[in-house]
Amino acid sequence: MEQNNKPVKYDLNFAREIYNLENGSYIKQCMQCGMCAISCATREIMDYSPRRLFNLIKLGKKDEVMQANTMWNCTSCCTCKARCPRGVPIIDVMHDLKKYAIQNGYADYPQAAFYKAFWAEVAGRGKVFEGGVTARYYLLRGLDEVKKAMAMKDVGLKMLKHKRMPLFPPKKIKGLGNLKKIIKKAQEIERREAR
Amino acid sequence: MMKYSLYPGCSMEATAQANLKSIIAVAKALDLHLEEIPDWNCCGATVASGVVGDFTQQVMTARNLAIAEAKGLDVVVGCSSCYLSLAVTNKRFKEDEHFKAKANEALAAGGYKYDGSLRVRQFLEVVINDVGFDKIKARVKKPLAGLKVAGYVGCQTVRAIPYEFDDPEYPVQMDKLMEALGATATKFPMKARCCGSSNAIAATEIVIDQAYKIFESASEGGADVIATPCPMCQLNLDAYEQMVNQKYGTNFSLPILFFTQLMAVAFDLPADAQALSYCINSPYQALASYGVAR
């Protein structure tokens, strides 16, 4: 039997970049037990479970990791984080991976557009207006999504009928200027702290 | 009278107005005084950190705690996701000096400072621990006798800070609260399962598939209604129940209520406090025996 004895290529630069993210170094603590995989509410539709994704990071498989839907399908439900025997804050690592994916141009998943739309609302108003997030989301995603939106019109109409969807946004917070300064400074500090 | 600062959160002003109305009315009935944090801002939920990172999201959250610290009262949160943000941020201020120094450096840019002196608490926990089941029982005017309630605690309520006030795997405190109101808590293995959260817009299928498992579990337990503390859980189940039926060929028609709405019903508070008209799947039939008015 012929064996594949080709050595595995480790791209340690990618691994190092990920370890340097806010919660990235926790990945080194993963012992591949799979508790996260069996705990995950959306595991069935993930390309890789968190366990496998962490292993791919260790192996430096940048494209596999960044193109995976794993982090985008994570709902931050905290089940894996609460159970991880090594104390890896898995959902927080997933937040880092989402941020890294957006920053590095891997943002094709619809959830990435939703995240950007949500943040634009927060940064522009100090509060989230769900109608605004939805509108921004559809603008980012374009026409294809509008068809999907039509399939959802019954849900929207019912929400309107039961006063669940205000048509006008809340007022901007008074301290919006200060909030923006805080956010800007926090981003500077975070960049400074990342080695 | 016990006093608290209240952090409502964005959803309470939009999709979950029924939650805020019932929380305020129930608090008043239990002699709890809630003062809204002035000019509070969005906590960023679990979404902002996916764009700007945990640190920035937590600093943004901390602005609310900094404003609340002037009063020194415990901060009460209704929304599970807001609770996760505020409680985890607060914990870091208390336990991580390096984080606290950095966070205060950022807060100072806007003229704020937070010492980490406050407690962040969920309204569910405040009702259970500060008021207690005995006083709640005494306040009940229309016991919910015969009503079978699936207590859907959801994910972040009990797992934001595991074991803070309930078991993160199989929570029981809300069930006990329902029993204090005279209702029967049903067997409900999916009570702490994720509802799919913010995927409702971008990946609706996730929410529909999660909701199916939750409805199936609640139905098997014989529930008449589902009760939850979380605005996201309530909205996802309430808005997508019929889409679940379409996809899975099921016939679920369970009303989904905030636990505070059931408290308002049991306390015989006015219709505005019960806020039942906000429910998409009508709860009037299930609650008909308890004198609810449209």
DSSP A174-186: TTHHHHHHHHHHH
CATH class of B138-290: alpha beta
- Give the pLDDT band (50/70/90) at residue A5: confident
**Inter-chain CB proximity B41 and A179 less than 8 Å:** yes
Strands in chain B per DSSP E = 2-7, 32-36, 75-77, 120-122, 148-151, 184-185, 225-228, 256-258
B194 lies within 8 A of chain A by CB: yes
pLDDT value of position A3: 64
Beta bridge partners of B122: B77
**Inter-chain CB proximity A182 and B277 less than 8 Å:** no
**A97 within some domain:** yes
**Inter-chain CB proximity A118 and B51 less than 8 Å:** yes
Instruction: Let me know whether A91 and A126 are in one domain.
Output: no
Instruction: Let me know whether A57 and A23 are in one domain.
Output: yes
What single-letter amino acid sits at B290? Y
- Better pLDDT: B269 or B1: B269
CA–CA gap between residue B271 and residue B3 (Å, rounded): 25
CA–CA gap between residue B231 and residue A145 (Å, rounded): 25
B199: pLDDT strictly greater than 80: yes
CA–CA gap between residue B27 and residue B260 (Å, rounded): 9
Domain count, chain A: 2
pLDDT value of position B10: 95
pLDDT value of position B98: 97
**Inter-chain CB proximity B14 and A154 less than 8 Å:** no
Calculated CA dihedral for residues B14, B116, A77, A20, nearest 10 degrees: 120
A1: pLDDT strictly greater than 70: no
Instruction: Let me know whether A49 and A81 are in one domain.
Output: yes
Tens digits of per-residue pLDDT, B142-194? Answer: 999 999 999 999 999 999 999 999 999 999 999 999 999 999 999 999 999 99
Tell me the chain A residues in contact with residue B44 when contact means C-beta distances shorter than 8 Å: 122
CA–CA gap between residue A163 and residue A144 (Å, rounded): 28
The stretch A118-145 carries a mean pLDDT of: 90
pLDDT value of position A168: 87
**A154 within some domain:** yes
Instruction: Let me know whether A23 and A98 are in one domain.
Output: yes
Paired tokens of B86: 């505020």
**A5 within some domain:** no
Paired tokens of B205: 């299928």
Disruptive mutation site among A42, A73, A75 for chain B (greatest number of B CBs within 10 Å):
A75
> B245 to chain A nearest CA, in Å?
13
The stretch A5-10 carries a mean pLDDT of: 76
B17 lies within 8 A of chain A by CB: yes
| Cβ-based neighbours of B130, under 8 Å, separated by 6 or more | B2, B32
Q: Which of residues 107-166 of B touch A (CB under 8 A)?
A: 107-112, 155-156, 159-160, 162
Do B138-290 and B2-122 fall under one CATH topology? no
Tens digits of per-residue pLDDT, B42-85? Answer: 999 999 999 999 999 999 999 999 999 999 999 999 999 999 99
Which CATH number fits the domain that encloses residue A93?
A: 1.10.1060.10
Strand B184-185, strand B148-151: pairing: parallel
Q: What single-letter DSSP state applies at residue B290?
A: G
> A195 to chain B nearest CA, in Å?
15
Tell me the chain A residues in contact with residue B40 when contact means C-beta distances shorter than 8 Å: 173
**A6 within some domain:** no
The stretch B257-270 carries a mean pLDDT of: 98
Contact at 8 Å (CB) between B21 and B231?
A: no
Tens digits of per-residue pLDDT, B217-255? Answer: 999 999 999 999 999 999 999 999 999 999 999 999 999
Query: What are the extents of the domains in chain B?
Result: 2-122, 138-290
The stretch B280-285 carries a mean pLDDT of: 96
Per the structure, the complete domain to which residue A78 belongs is given by: 12-103
By CA distance, what is A94's nearest residue in B?
A: B50
Tens digits of per-residue pLDDT, A11-30? Answer: 889 999 999 999 999 999 99
- Give the pLDDT band (50/70/90) at residue A195: low
Nearest to B63 among A45, A71, A179 (CB): A179
Domain end position, chosen among A71, A103, A135: A103
**A–B: how many Cβ contacts below 8 A?**
211
Paired tokens of B182: 């005279």
B293 lies within 8 A of chain A by CB: no
The reply to whether ipTM tops 0.90 is yes
Instruction: Let me know whether A30 and A59 are in one domain.
Output: yes
Tens digits of per-residue pLDDT, A52-86? Answer: 999 999 999 999 999 999 999 999 999 999 999 99
**A163 within some domain:** yes
Tell me the chain B residues in contact with residue A94 when contact means C-beta distances shorter than 8 Å: 50
> A40 to chain B nearest CA, in Å?
9
Nearest to A155 among B105, B110, B243 (CB): B243
> A64 to chain B nearest CA, in Å?
19
Instruction: Let me know whether A28 and A45 are in one domain.
Output: yes
Instruction: Let me know whether A69 and A129 are in one domain.
Output: no
Domain end position, chosen among A64, A84, A103: A103
Beta bridge partners of B121: B76
- What's the whole-number average pLDDT of chain A? 92
Beta bridge partners of B227: B151, B257
- Give the pLDDT band (50/70/90) at residue A2: low
pLDDT value of position A28: 97
Instruction: Let me know whether A73 and A141 are in one domain.
Output: no
The stretch A144-148 carries a mean pLDDT of: 76
Instruction: Let me know whether A140 and A170 are in one domain.
Output: yes
B15 lies within 8 A of chain A by CB: yes
Considering the domain B2-122 in this protein, what is its CATH number? 1.20.1050.140
By CA distance, what is B243's nearest residue in A?
A: A155
> A179 to chain B nearest CA, in Å?
6
- What's the whole-number average pLDDT of chain B? 96
- Give the pLDDT band (50/70/90) at residue A166: confident
| Cβ-based neighbours of A45, under 8 Å, separated by 6 or more | A69, A73, B206
> B235 to chain A nearest CA, in Å?
9
Instruction: Let me know whether A40 and A62 are in one domain.
Output: yes
Domain end position, chosen among A44, A69, A103: A103
Paired tokens of B270: 């006015």
pLDDT value of position A147: 76
Contact at 8 Å (CB) between B234 and A113?
A: no
- Give the pLDDT band (50/70/90) at residue A6: confident
Torsion sign (Cα): A21, A24, A28, A34: negative
Instruction: Let me know whether A98 and A35 are in one domain.
Output: yes
- Better pLDDT: A195 or B6: B6
**A1 within some domain:** no
